[in-house]
Structure 1
Amino acid sequence: MDRSTERALKASVREEVASRLRAGQASPSAVEALIREVVGQVAFEQGEPLSLYELESLAGGIVDDFLRYGPLQPLLDDPAVTEIMVNGGGVDEADPALPFRAPVVYVERAGLIEHRPDIVFDDADHVRRIINKIAEQAGMRCDETHAMGCAMLPGGRARATYVVPPISPDGPALNVRTFSDGMLSMEDLLGVGALSAAMADFLCAAVQARCPIVISGGTGSGKTTLLGALSGFIPAGERVITIEDTPELRLQTAHVERMQTREANVEGEGAVGMRELVALSLRRRPDRIIVGECRGAEAYDMLQAMQTDHPGSMTTIHANDPSNALSRLRTMVGYADGDLSREVIAQQIAESLQGGLIVHVERMRDGTRKVTSVVSVDPLPEGSMVIPRAELFAYDVEGIDANGWVVGAWRPCGVQPQGIKARMRVAGIPFDPAWFFGS
């Protein structure tokens, strides 16, 4: 059966099934049974002699379209796939004479991107139907006036972002990032070579001593995963509030209250922003506040929380390195109040993060994620605008081996962070100078 015949049969079956389902609600099992019945009926009426394999394949694809996520369902069911990318396809509305471009699917597996030509959409409308389903399940709209969005799939198992025309001139495009059901512990990260044993011991002690921690890195570098692993060392008696745009964090502590931002409805009302939730969380008796990712003015409120009654709070930030993380914090704090001078902003950041850490993670060329730098933040000298910091650990890349794997080693920098040492002493957490020396 060629692709054009398959597309025509699918269209006929979808139309017939949809017309029968308009009469009322049906259970998923009833819908599946109806689809299998209609597939055989339509194939017979159109004179298409299909084998049992072809009938089953056709029916299975339409069942996935109606009840699940179409061609993407096998990828969502594959635990090794961490990201799905569907590049838009269809007819160029500006020039319909151009040839049809089929949607193309790529996936990320083990940190590397690969093409999946076996995952096939019928056309651009097929991609659009999947996007519409995701948006509707999240209570959102997808049309010309709402041509982009970000939504969680039911159960929080994945986060989808999408764009459709006119924002996406090449046709609807979809990106789905999946989340593991399990939570990676620090032992798991050590097992996959994400950091050294000395770094792990030090970071765990820093969490227990309630040092403020900012985790920086690029998209998909493992910031949220590391934050979840570090949460396993928060003492059981502490109350934690998490604030996110989409609920990605998997914390390994019991006393957690989760809060999530909300976009405005179709009338432009009801929006709840990150900054409002941070302000609200301060009144809900948290011991620590964890902001999934600081992107704007909420950075100011997060720093205030770290500086006052909520030491040990943590957040993540997109940045290329620890220095860039501080630069981005300066910019975001400026969003909160345009009247703040550069000197005041630097003072606020230094006072909030002193005795704390910036932990930088990267996705390497071979797809692995590693903690590549751990930096301590020191008090700001009077009259200075340069926030003092000292690198405690660094990852030195030595090259690429014959199999394409990154070869490197972690290096303790021989600096003992005195501010963190003082916090550990007050908290009764042992401080081991050997963390910062040796091989």
Structure 2
Amino acid sequence: MLYKFSPLHSFVDVQSLGWEVLKEGQYTIPLPRLSPDEQELIIEVENYFREITRIREFSSPEETKDELLSTLSRVCHEKGYEIDEEQETYLVNVAYLHIYGLGFFEHLLADNNIEEIALIGLGKPVYVYVKGKGWLKTNALISSETYLMELVNKMASLLGRRITLQNPRLDTTLPDGSRLHASLPPISNGEITIRRFNATPLSMKSIVSFGTMRNNLVAIMSLLMQGDFSVLVAGNTASGKTTVLNSLFSFVPYNERILITEETPEINVLQEHSVRLVANPDMDIKLLDLVYDSLRMRPDRIVVGEIRNKEEARALLDVLLAGQARGAYATFHGKSAEEALSRLMSFGISEMDVNSIDAILVQRRMMLYDRQKRRVEERRRATSLNLVIESKPVPIFTYNVNKDSWKITNMPLVYDVIGARLGLSNKEVKEEIAKRTALMEKAPSDFKDFYKFMQRSLYGLA
């Protein structure tokens, strides 16, 4: 046997915690596999402990675990169960996670390399999406619909939200910014999807270090941001659209007023004079409403978050056409700049209005097959940067997937367009791109340090 638990009296009608750790998985959660008897013992401890908490509160995890240990010893003594010191330690830890925490989900939520957590059904292993590795099967599952409801309601409790058999669907944003979707039968066989929010954003230095783009592309993007170009970041799901858009604000002067409208809080700028407005479907507050509200708030820059439908696309274009902000920014699903513009026009946006978008950066998440290693590897790349001229995308940077390299084109146009916005000659724009490319080499990787470095280097600020 894996564990040494040997009760003097066997349990009958063994109960389950509602979750369990399996023998193996591609992603290993460092928790012990419990025997049915050990699970039953933890349930006994839980029942005793809940009675204790009716009359007593605990001020720290340590104090709580001490009381759980006392309760465990008491139950074992009263029931005549024998456990050793090793079992005692891990049973208390598991009991604490089960009663006060989120079970094995605590370990998943503590791993910053995990981008997404997915329960695909009761009795099936939970999957996690790990940076650089893709989807991995964990060594844990949820077996009980009751526990699934308890787990979801624990996560959503601070928001005053609940999932029930009468209301078997929940879609909300957790306090840390992560997005939670959960559903029960008959909608699904039990489902949880958590898209993690990175509380510490990536700097452009880090993004370049991952191979997503090159320093000279960042240098040009920094001039677009300084020149008040309105930028659309397009791409497929999980390609890093929001991450890149967020990092571009390091090139916006610290004293500008930035208005952020989102359905899910994701943009995290360091400019102090920033205001975030978050849509709330439960209160019938739509992103569209917030975008129009923002026009009356005198912003220097407006972020519209992710454009998903005709109304939101129209709102973005209204922002651009109104001229209330010097620059407007959004993310949008599209595999190319051509597809992004085509989709916008399919929403009823005219060719003339599309010209109010100055530039489109396209991000792609690709799964490439390595024949030598015989495995699929994930790659995120900026596949093109385009200026929008006469309703058509004109590429500046294009990516070659076979060579994993970029080609620069139409640079005279870049010099003309940026120079016209910033009052610089073509020669000065060229020199500025070279200067900023060199700055990227020297810049620190930390998000805040990168921001301060660029503010100081470009504007003499902060």
Q: Give the distance between the partners of 2:230 and 2:365, measured in 1 at CA.
A: 24
Are the aligned partners of 1:425 and 1:431 in contact in 2 as well (CA < 8 Å)? no
Are the aligned partners of 1:121 and 1:127 in contact in 2 as well (CA < 8 Å)? yes
The question of 1:376 aligning with 2:387 is answered yes
Letter in 2 for 1:427: L
Structure 2 counterpart of 1:223: 241
Structure 1 counterpart of 2:110: 77
Alpha-carbon distance, 1:83 to partner: 2.0
Alpha-carbon distance, 1:434 to partner: 10
Match of 2:392 among 388, 393, 417: 388
Q: Which moved more, 1:176-185 or 1:118-127?
A: 118-127
Secondary structure, aligned partner of 1:198: helix
Are the aligned partners of 1:103 and 1:123 in contact in 2 as well (CA < 8 Å)? no
Secondary structure, aligned partner of 1:368: strand
Percent identical among aligned pairs is: 25
Secondary structure, aligned partner of 2:404: strand
The question of 1:408 aligning with 2:404 is answered yes
Alpha-carbon distance, 1:228 to partner: 1.1
Alpha-carbon distance, 1:187 to partner: 1.5
Structure 2 counterpart of 1:349: 354
Are the aligned partners of 2:204 and 2:247 in contact in 1 as well (CA < 8 Å)? yes
Structure 2 counterpart of 1:19: 51
The question of 1:397 aligning with 2:401 is answered yes
The verdict on how the C-alpha distance between 1:34 and 1:330 changes in structure 2, with shifts beyond 3 A counting, is farther
The alignment's TM-score, normalised by the length of structure 1, stands at: 0.80
How many residues matched?
387
Q: Give the distance between the partners of 2:306 and 2:135, measured in 1 at CA.
A: 28
**RMSD, aligned CA:** 2.6
Are the aligned partners of 2:255 and 2:271 in contact in 1 as well (CA < 8 Å)? no
Q: Which moved more, 1:175-184 or 1:421-430?
A: 421-430
Structure 2 counterpart of 1:299: 313
Q: Give the distance between the partners of 2:69 and 2:423, measured in 1 at CA.
A: 66
Structure 1 counterpart of 2:286: 273
Query: Which of structures 1 and 2 has the larger relative contact order (alpha carbons within 8 angstroms, sep 6+)?
Result: 2
Q: Give the distance between the partners of 2:155 and 2:345, measured in 1 at CA.
A: 36
Structure 2 counterpart of 1:8: 40
Match of 1:193 among 211, 216, 230: 211
Alpha-carbon distance, 1:44 to partner: 3.9
Provide, for residues 224-266 of structure 1, a one-character-per-residue CA deviation record: whole Å limited to 9, x for no partner.
Answer: 11011101111223100111112111224332111111132xx
Are the aligned partners of 2:260 and 2:305 in contact in 1 as well (CA < 8 Å)? yes
Structure 1 counterpart of 2:373: none
Equivalent positions of 1:415-430 (< 5 A) are: 416-417=412-413, 421-428=416-423, 430=428
Q: Give the distance between the partners of 2:84 and 2:175, measured in 1 at CA.
A: 35
The verdict on how the C-alpha distance between 1:313 and 1:223 changes in structure 2, with shifts beyond 3 A counting, is same
Structure 2 counterpart of 1:401: none
Provide, for residues 310-358 of structure 1, a one-character-per-residue CA deviation record: whole Å limited to 9, x for no partner.
Answer: 2321110122222222233234x44xxxxxxxxx6333223x21xx111
The verdict on how the C-alpha distance between 1:247 and 1:397 changes in structure 2, with shifts beyond 3 A counting, is same
Q: Give the distance between the partners of 1:212 and 1:68, measured in 2 at CA.
A: 44
Are the aligned partners of 1:72 and 1:119 in contact in 2 as well (CA < 8 Å)? no
The verdict on how the C-alpha distance between 1:155 and 1:434 changes in structure 2, with shifts beyond 3 A counting, is closer
Alpha-carbon distance, 1:281 to partner: 0.9
Structure 2 counterpart of 1:338: none
Structure 1 counterpart of 2:7: none
Secondary structure, aligned partner of 2:232: strand
Q: Give the distance between the partners of 2:422 and 2:233, measured in 1 at CA.
A: 22
The alignment's TM-score, normalised by the length of structure 2, stands at: 0.77
Are the aligned partners of 2:152 and 2:162 in contact in 1 as well (CA < 8 Å)? no
Q: Give the distance between the partners of 2:75 and 2:337, measured in 1 at CA.
A: 61
Are the aligned partners of 1:210 and 1:423 in contact in 2 as well (CA < 8 Å)? no
The question of 1:262 aligning with 2:262 is answered no
Secondary structure, aligned partner of 1:290: strand
Q: Give the distance between the partners of 1:116 and 1:301, measured in 2 at CA.
A: 41
The question of 1:312 aligning with 2:327 is answered yes
Q: Give the distance between the partners of 1:61 and 1:83, measured in 2 at CA.
A: 23
Are the aligned partners of 2:116 and 2:196 in contact in 1 as well (CA < 8 Å)? yes
Q: Give the distance between the partners of 1:17 and 1:329, measured in 2 at CA.
A: 58
The verdict on how the C-alpha distance between 1:53 and 1:159 changes in structure 2, with shifts beyond 3 A counting, is farther
Provide, for residues 105-136 of structure 1, a one-character-per-residue CA deviation record: whole Å limited to 9, x for no partner.
Answer: 22222232343443344644333321111222
Q: Give the distance between the partners of 1:199 and 1:62, measured in 2 at CA.
A: 52
Provide, for residues 401-420 of structure 1, a one-character-per-residue CA deviation record: whole Å limited to 9, x for no partner.
Answer: xxxxxx511111335446x8
Letter in 1 for 2:405: A
Equivalent positions of 1:54-133 (< 5 A) are: 54-89=87-122, 102-121=123-142, 123-133=144-154
Alpha-carbon distance, 1:424 to partner: 4.0
Alpha-carbon distance, 1:372 to partner: 0.9
Alpha-carbon distance, 1:25 to partner: 5.3
Structure 2 counterpart of 1:251: 269
The verdict on how the C-alpha distance between 1:152 and 1:286 changes in structure 2, with shifts beyond 3 A counting, is same
Q: Give the distance between the partners of 1:390 and 1:184, measured in 2 at CA.
A: 28
Provide, for residues 361-388 of structure 1, a one-character-per-residue CA deviation record: whole Å limited to 9, x for no partner.
Answer: 1122222321111121113xxxxxxx32
Secondary structure, aligned partner of 1:323: helix
Q: Give the distance between the partners of 2:187 and 2:132, measured in 1 at CA.
A: 28
